[in-house]
Amino acid sequence: MNALLLTQRALVQFPRNPMVLGFSVVPVLIMYLVFGGLFSGVSELPGFPTDNYFEFLAPTALLLATVPGMGNAGVSLAADLQSRYFQKLLTTPTGVGSVMLGRVLGDSLRLAVQAALVLLLAIALGAQVETGVPGAVLMIVMGTLLGIVTFGVVSANLAIRTRDAGAVQAIQPMAFLLIFLTSAYQTTDHIDSPVLRTIIDLNPAEYVLRPMRELMLSGYQWDHIGIGFLAIAGLGLLGLPLTARNYRSVYG
Amino acid sequence: MTSSSTTATAAFNELIGLADGPRMPDIGDAVVLDDLAKTYRDGTEAVRGISLRVAAGESFGILGPNGAGKSTTIGMLGTLVKPTGGRAWVAGHDVAAEPIDVRRRIGFAMQDVGVDGFATTSEFMVLQGRLHGLRKADAVRRAQLLLRVVGLEEVAGKRVASLSGGTRRRVDLAASLMHLPPIVFLDEPTEGLDPRSRGAIWETLSALRRRLGITLVLTTHDMDEAEALCDRIGIVDRGALVVEGTPESLTSAGAPTLEAAYLHYTERQAA
C-alpha cells in the first residue's frame, strides 16, 4: 500500500520537473526520425525483414526511451538520499523495498506512456505493429522491465553509493552502449564483423530486442519471448539482491 | 489574546480531539536503552554502551557537545541507524528486530530536515500521514490543523523547496506529528530557528505533552531548550552517558547553572 502512495508521489512529481519528461522522450523521438531517415536504405538489402525501416527501428527507439529513461529512478533516489527525504520516509512504517518499489513503479508508468508515444510516431510514419495492441503492450512491458533490471539497477546502486544525482546522470551514455551493441540498427545477418556479432550474442539486451522486433514485424514467437523474459529474470535475480546488499553495506 | 493565537488554540483543541485511544500502551517505560552501542564501518565508536530509561509521558533531553553521539543515539532509537551492540526498546518493541512496529508509534524530526522539494507543504504532510495509515480526508484535515497550530497555514500550498530553512524545520516537525504518536524523537529541534519560532515550537511540544501525555526524547546543546522542555537530562560525551538527572539535581551538585554543570561534566570527561 505504501509503495502505491509513493508511486503516486512520483507521478505527481513528473509534470513539476519538465526536464525529466522533456529530455527523456524528445531526444528519442528526434533520434528515431533522424536515424530512420538516414538508414532507410538498409531496408533495401536482400533478406531484410521489412521494407519500412521505421518499422524495424521502432523497438530500438522504444528501448532508447525505456532503458536510459529508467536512470531517472536512480537520479530521484540520489536526490532523496541527498536531501534526507529518503530517511524521513523511513521514519514511517515503510520499508526500504517499498520506497524503492514506489519510485520504480512511478518511473515505469511514465516510461510506458513514453514508449507508447514512440510506437504512435512509428505508426504515423507508416509502420504497423503486426501483433496489434496486445503485442504493442507486450513490447512496452518487455522494454520497461529491461530498463528496470539494467540501467535501473546500475543507477540505483550508484545513487546508493554516491547520493549524488549529478553522478547518476553522468552515466546515462552507458545505457546507449547497451542498446547500440545489439541488432538495434541492422539484422545480425547483415553485420560483417564477427567480433561485433559475438558481442551482440553475449548481450542480454539482444534477447529482449529480438522478440520485441518479431512482435512488431512478424508475430508471436513464444520461445523467443520466453527467452527474453528469462534474460530479464536473470538480470533481475543478479541485480536486485546486489542492490539490497549494497544498500545494507552503506546504510546497514 | 490575538485572533491568530485563538485560531491556533482552536486548531490544537480539535487536533487533540482526533487522538484515538490511549496514547501509550501500559508498558511502563516508553524507551529503554541497554548498553546500546554503535561503531561505524570506519571504526568510529559513536556510541559506547549507553543504558537509560525514559518513562511514558516523560521528556528526556540528551545534552552533549558536537560529535558526542547524540544524533547516532536518537537515530538508533528512531530505527534509522542499526546498533552494533546492546539493545533498545521503544514502546516495548526492539528497535533492531521490530523497526516497523517502532515506527508506527513514533514521530521523528531529524536534524537534517528531510522534506520533499517537489511537493507542496500540504502534500508533504498528507503523504506522511497516509504512510502512517491515515485515510486521505483525515490526513488532509490533520495537516490543516497542524499547520495552524505551528502558525504556517499560509505556506500550505507552497512548494517545500521554496520555504526558508527555519520554516522547513517547523513543517518537518508538524509532519512528524501527523499520526499523533505517543513518542516523539527530536534531533536538535530548534537549531537555527529565530526566538519567536523556537518559542512557538516549545509551546506546541509542551502543550502536546500536557494534553496527550506524549513522551519526548530530544537532543540539544541548547541549555535553555533543555531546561524549558526536559524533565530529565542525560549528558553524553564521546559516546558515553556521563551523568543523568533532573535539571535541578544537576545544578544543585555544585554547579550554579545547567551550563556550568554541562561544562563541568564534559570537561571532566575530556580530562
Chain A residue numbers with beta carbons less than 8 Å from the beta carbon of B96 are none
Confidence of residue B85 (pLDDT cuts 50, 70, 90): very high
Of A229, A25, A222, A33, nearest in space to A131 by CA: A222
Across A128-140, average pLDDT: 96
Q: What is the pLDDT of residue A129?
A: 95
Nearest-Cα distance to chain A for B210, in Å, is 24
**Chain B residues within 8 A of A13 when measuring between CB atoms:** 118-119
Region A128-148: mean pLDDT is: 96
Residue A94: name the closest of B25, B114, B41, B32 by CA: B114
Mutation for B interface: A91, A103, A250, most B CBs within 10 A: A91
Q: Would you give the distance in Å from CA B157 to the centre of its chain?
A: 26
What predicted TM-score, i.e. pTM, was given to this entire model?
0.85
What's the pLDDT band for A148 if we cut at 50, 70, 90? very high
What is the average per-residue pLDDT within A107-122?
93
Domain with B96, as residue range(s), is 3-270
Q: Which of A92, A94, A161 to mutate to test the interface with B (most CBs of B within 10 A)?
A: A92
Which band of pLDDT confidence, cut at 50, 70 and 90, is reported for residue B256?
confident
Count the neighbouring beta carbons within 10 Å of the beta carbon of residue B111.
17
Contact A91 B115 (CB under 8 A): no
> B100 to chain A, minimum CA–CA distance in Å?
5
What is the nearest CA distance from B225 to chain A, expressed in angstroms?
Answer: 24
The CATH number of whichever domain residue B131 belongs to comes to 3.40.50.300
Chain B residue with CA closest to A2: the answer is: B131
Please identify among residues 63-92 of chain B the ones whose CB lies closer than 8 Å to any CB of chain A.
78-80, 82
pLDDT at residue B2, as a whole number? 56
Scanning the structure block, which residue is given the C-alpha cell 500502551?
B25
Mean pLDDT of A57-76: 92
ipTM of this complex prediction, to 2 decimal places = 0.86
- pLDDT for residue A152: 93
Edge-to-edge strand ranges of the sheet holding B183-187: B106-109, B183-187, B215-220, B59-63, B232-237, B240-245
Of B205 and B138, the one with more pLDDT: B138
Residue B11 has pLDDT above 50, yes or no: yes
Counted across chains A and B, CB pairs separated by less than 8 A come out at 66
Q: Span B1-20, mean pLDDT? A: 70
Percent with pLDDT over 90 in chain A: 69
What per-residue confidence (pLDDT) applies to B6? 66
The whole-angstrom separation of Cα A89 and Cα A102 is 12
Of the pLDDT bands very low, low, confident and very high (cuts 50, 70, 90), residue A19 is confident
Domains in chain B, number: 1
